[in-house]
A and B are shown apart, each in its own frame.
Chain A
Amino acid sequence: GAGVSQSPSNKVTEKGKDVELRCDPISGHTALYWYRQSLGQGLEFLIYFQGNSAPDKSGLPSDRFSAERTGGSVSTLTIQRTQQEDSAVYLCASKTGLLNTEAFFGQGTRLTVV
Chain B
Amino acid sequence: GESVGLHLPTLSVQEGDNSIINCAYSNSASDYFIWYKQESGKGPQFIIDIRSNMDKRQGQRVTVLLNKTVKHLSLQIAATQPGDSAVYFCAEITGGGNKLTFGTGTQLKVEL
- A contacts, CB < 8 Å to B: 4, 31, 33, 35, 41-43, 45, 48, 50, 55-56, 91, 93, 95, 97-108
- Contacts known (A42-B89, A42-B104, A103-B100); A56 close to B95, Cβ less than 8 A: yes
Residue in A41, A48, A55, A102 whose beta carbon sits within 8 Å of that of B46 in the complex: A102
17 additional A-B pairs beyond A42-B104, A98-B96, A105-B43, beta carbons within 8 Å, are A43-B102, A45-B99, A45-B100, A45-B102, A48-B99, A48-B100, A50-B98, A56-B99, A91-B43, A97-B97, A98-B97, A101-B49, A101-B93, A102-B49, A104-B46, A105-B42, A105-B44
**Contact residues in A for B100 (Cβ distance below 8 Å):** 33, 45, 48, 93, 95, 101, 103
- B contacts, CB < 8 Å to A: 31-32, 34, 41-46, 49, 89, 93, 95-105
Give complex CA distance A13, B62 in Å. Answer: 42
Residue in B32, B45, B105 whose beta carbon sits within 8 Å of that of A101 in the complex: B32
Contact A103 B46 (CB under 8 A): yes
Give complex CA distance A97, B93 in Å. Answer: 12
Q: Can you give 19 A-B contacts (C-beta < 8 A)? A: A33-B100, A43-B102, A48-B98, A48-B99, A50-B98, A55-B98, A56-B95, A56-B99, A98-B96, A99-B31, A99-B32, A99-B93, A101-B32, A101-B34, A101-B100, A103-B46, A105-B43, A105-B44, A106-B43
Nearest residue (CB) in A for B93 is A101
- Contacts known (A48-B100, A103-B100); A93 close to B43, Cβ less than 8 A: yes
Give complex CA distance A104, B34 in Å. Answer: 13
Residue of B98, B103, B105 with most partner-chain A CB within 10 A? B98
**Contact residues in A for B105 (Cβ distance below 8 Å):** 41-42
In the assembled complex, the CB of A100 is this many whole angstroms from the nearest CB of chain B, namely 8
Give complex CA distance A95, B43 in Å. Answer: 14
Contact A35 B45 (CB under 8 A): no
